[in-house]
Structure 1
């Protein structure tokens, strides 16, 4: 009887190593495409919708980086770490309070935005948030006559007696309610067909500021992307004129180039400034299986400071309300 040598195992092991290496490199491809597309502002087709989920992709990039390091695939690890670093540079600052949050002295103003989902959001809940947080200016979107009546019945006009209202059926209505009187007021219809109520609010001790309830068209289908782009580009830039606050359902996140372009005109995103830029405002809040994304914003002119931001659920709405404490320079 003879003892034979054990069967060679090097070939199967080598084959498995090759397969795992190929899979590792393939796992880097989506993020390697996503990062430059996000960075340079490619916004074609349904890609606009995917961009809203960039923070989730940023977190996922850590997985192949760690796997590559553990497996000692040094080339793949180097690429994976570079990709993760690029995503981190794009999204991590939203979790960090900015050193420059604008003026810290002046007159405090509390502003709130709420999308009412075809006017059906719980008006009592909205009025409770206004009352408990001593909100001075409320912007509403998807504002209908039914929603207006419900807010009035809940006592909103006793708290915020001044208003500029443009209620309409469906999602196109808009409104502003204020504790302080208006110097000027109107509503304009954007290219997407939505109203945007706006007013020059006379803040006691701080002069007049411009406030607008923003609601660009949603990028829900490739056919409406031109309207979405036009609405984003048409938002009022910060420079010149009165200090400004734009707040509402922007249907865009900080990962959309057009949103970043608007901010670059002289705004700061209030939630981003106080390290709360990852808090979701739309998605699963009416039981839809959608991860939370941040498309409701308060943008403040750089002449206005940001103290804090809170986000609250609103019953019967697919959006959450955003409240910002801001500081308006004293007159």
Structure 2
């Protein structure tokens, strides 16, 4: 008989290493959530990244499942708190609120034409199909204005206040079914052209529409982008009801945008349960983030919103069926 004696070999379990890694990942998620909760995004990296908060929430759920597998109580506890916080921040956008019970109908469409490249016929067909009363347009060029007219926009919306440009993103304008009067001095735009029009609704009432288009928060213009949103006019308590519509280049997760909402505005898409519907980009990738918005003050609200693709544009058009008191 031969007796074999083996010395015990100590092997570090894989799950122990996974548990330590899970804690590190959980701390990273906690830091990102704290940044979003505190509105601490700043600089060329964090400002764009905060746009992806809804996806950050999905990633946190995956990380939570991995923490359960790794049997790391600390990581599970941290990630549970993270997921609860992110759900509290994001999920209300997918839940429709109580629609306004009364008010004068106002059907509004906003679209960014991507330097005039958006298909004018598709835009006009949308205006006709949706029976639009007011059309807020960004990145309007002279050639795009001519194509819109040739496609029949002026027959549907005969009144306009437009500031087209030869090329690029600077041009913008507003078209309406009802008479328009341009307002000046309401605020000092920082960014592209942002005209303000007072729309005379039937019955003598009026509503104010601001075409919004600050610059994008690319590395060289983050400060200008923030100033462009911060200088937008706050929600008024008297005078004509005010609507802001356009490409804000900001999501509901940007602190400067939330401050604007805090003055008394409501995001129409979020109020109708479509606040997570992405509107940009439409090139090469599917749309990922929601940067096109319609905001109403306390005397107006949305009963329905819908996003539509515009061939040639990198943005989806946003339609809002509003009721204005």
Bucket of the pairwise TM-score, normalised by the shorter protein:
over 0.9
Gaps of at least 5 residues in structure 1 are none
| SS at 2:253 equivalent | coil
CA contact (8 A) 1:104 1:305 kept: no
Q: Map of 1:93-104 to 2, 5 A cutoff?
A: 93-99=92-98, 101=99, 103-104=100-101
2:201 pairs with 198, 203, 220, which one? Answer: 203
Q: How many Å separate the matches in 1 of 2:184 and 2:144?
A: 19
Q: Does 1:117 align with 2:119?
A: no
Partner Cα distance (1:312, 1:206) in 2: 32
Tell me, yes or no, if the aligned pair for 2:108 and 2:320 is still in contact at 8 Å: yes
Question: 1:68 deviation in Å?
Answer: 2.0
Q: 269, 272, 278: which is aligned to 1:271?
A: 269
Structure 1 partner of 2:294: 298
The equivalences for 1:166-315 within 5 A come to 166-168=163-165, 169-185=167-183, 190-192=189-191, 194-205=192-203, 207-221=205-219, 223-240=220-237, 241-283=239-281, 285-287=282-284, 289=285, 292-315=288-311
1:195 alignment partner, SS class: coil
Q: How many residues align?
A: 321
**Cα distance per residue 1:224-255 (max 9 Å; x no partner):** 11111110101111123321110100000000
Contact 2:51 2:251 in 1 (8 A): yes
1:7-35: CA deviation from partner (whole Å, max 9, x where unpaired)? 646x32x4423311121112223321211
Measured on the aligned residues, the alpha-carbon RMSD in Å equals 1.8
In 2, Cα distance between the equivalents of 1:294 and 1:227?
A: 20
Q: What is the distance in 1 between the residues matched to 2:148 and 2:28?
A: 46
2:132 is aligned with 1:159:
no
Contact 1:163 1:178 in 2 (8 A): yes
Secondary structure at the aligned position of 1:53 is classed as helix
List per-residue Cα deviations over 1:167-204 (Å, max 9, x = no partner). Answer: 01211001000001124445987223x10121111111
Q: Following the alignment from structure 1 to structure 2, what is the Cα–Cα distance between the partners of residues 2 and 291? A: 71
Number of the residue aligned with 2:88: 89
Inter-partner Cα distance in structure 2 for 1:105 and 1:143: 34
Distance 2:287 2:307 in 1: 16
Q: Which stretch of the first structure deviates more once superposed, 317-326 or 175-184?
A: 175-184
* TM-score of the pair, normalised by structure 2: 0.94
